[in-house]
Structure 1
Amino acid sequence: MAMAMASASAARTTFLDGGGSSSFTQKLAFHENGLGLRAPWRGGGGGGGMNRIVHCRLRSLRPKTQWPIIPEQHKWMYEDKPELQKAIWHKSYYPKEADHPNVSKKWYIVDATNMRLGRLASTIAYYLRGKDSPMFTPSLDMGSYVIVVNSEKVGVTGRKRTDKLYRRHSGRPGGLKEETFDHLQKRIPERIVEHAVRGMLPKNRLGRAMFRKLKVFKGGDHPHGAQKPEPLPIKDKRIMLDMEPQF
């Protein structure tokens, strides 16, 4: 207590002018206990004086203790493990981008034949984001690569084949173009799957990086055999068009 008071008295009282106005003066002085700042404001203009106390913690006046400290009732658990005594009570682990390089990510493959477009896209986005990992972090790209083959055989329900429209614009006046699902599937079938998956990813640079890990191909051939892709785990029981809904 005496040391705190001595340090407080040693620190000079500081005066700060508020915005260059002579009617407003800030007076900052250390508390007697040395753990905060006292700042009484003096207002002018006939409104009367107004005193406020602002408490600010001063890190320089805190005792220099080693933190974190293993509680006394838990020390017996780490007597024979000195390497864990300093790390076990540190802050929670937060994954880093360097912990998940692209060379260590898995490769999956899925055949889109007779699969529902929406359910297939949501399953692909699930693995592109890395939500299957117990260390999933929304701010990191820790997902897997996904290869989609036979994209021209993906299906939709109801009247979406003729009523669902895909729009694009050239950027010039009158440059809006529309085409149905059936027409686009005959022309560029890969774009249908890419459009559905892109809408389920984050709309920022992280989402664009995730989207680049999606490889969609027309037909059953693909050039990524060297990566030895594994079958994509599918938990959705209603993803196939020829399956009856199970409730």
Structure 2
Amino acid sequence: MNKTPLPNLNTLEKKWYVIDAADQRLGRLASEIAMILRGKNKPTYTPHLDTGDFVIVINAQKVVVTGKKSEQKLYRRDSGRPGGMKVETFNKLQARLPERIIEHAVKGMLPKNTLGRQLFTKLKVYAGGSHPHQAQSPSNLVLNTIPGGEN
């Protein structure tokens, strides 16, 4: 009987990638990041194992959305107390915490279990153009997405 070979996680090489989010569309960017975090771009992909790579996203404040989403898209958070629901538009959240927009989009595309939480820790998002991960010697990754915010 043939058995499916599993990748050895101890010898599996984890790469680091830098993605520039400037003028990238939010959803297309997030789906590409989620694919890399899961490892779906590798031949060693296994659904129940962490075979993905690390992703560093820079220029998070320059990510764009199309149409009227900048005024209409809402981000909600709840403190758990009565009346503790806070609602914020895309524009306000981008001015306050631009990293959270990309983190929220990518987290929604990962599995909702222990593996998804483990994969999410490999995502590093920064609002500006610099990051503190030079020691890992990350390589720049150019995505196939079409830049711009036109309709």
TM-score tier (shorter): over 0.9
Show the counterpart of 1:202: 111
1:1-247 residue pairs with structure 2 within 5 A? 91-100=3-12, 104-236=13-145, 238=146, 240-241=147-148
CA distance in 2, matches of 1:149, 1:120: 12
CA distance in 1, matches of 2:94, 2:45: 34
CA distance in 1, matches of 2:105, 2:112: 13
TM-score, normalised to structure 2's length?
0.94
Report if aligned partners of 2:25, 2:149 keep a CA contact under 8 Å in 1. Answer: no
Per the TM alignment, residue 91 of structure 1 is displaced from its structure 2 partner at its CA by: 2.8
Aligned in 2, Cα 1:243/1:178: closer, same or farther, shift over 3 Å? closer
CA distance in 1, matches of 2:98, 2:136: 24
Report if aligned partners of 2:66, 2:150 keep a CA contact under 8 Å in 1. Answer: no
CA distance in 2, matches of 1:198, 1:139: 17
CA distance in 2, matches of 1:203, 1:144: 19
Give the CA RMSD over aligned residues.
1.6
CA distance in 2, matches of 1:110, 1:118: 14
TM-score, normalised to structure 1's length?
0.58
Aligned in 2, Cα 1:242/1:160: closer, same or farther, shift over 3 Å? closer
Report if aligned partners of 2:66, 2:149 keep a CA contact under 8 Å in 1. Answer: no
Q: Which runs of 5+ in 2 are unaligned?
A: none
Aligned-residue sequence identity (percent) comes to 57
CA distance in 2, matches of 1:145, 1:161: 28
Report if aligned partners of 1:128, 1:144 keep a CA contact under 8 Å in 2. Answer: yes
CA distance in 2, matches of 1:167, 1:92: 43
Amino acid at match of 1:134: P
Per the TM alignment, residue 221 of structure 1 is displaced from its structure 2 partner at its CA by: 1.0
Amino acid at match of 1:126: M
Q: Which runs of 5+ in 1 are unaligned?
A: 1-67, 69-89
> Greater CA radius of gyration, 1 or 2?
1
Q: Over residues 147-178 of structure 1, what are the superposed CA-to-partner deviations in whole Å (9 max), with x where a residue is unaligned?
A: 00010000000000000000000000010010
Aligned in 2, Cα 1:120/1:177: closer, same or farther, shift over 3 Å? same
SS at match of 2:61: helix
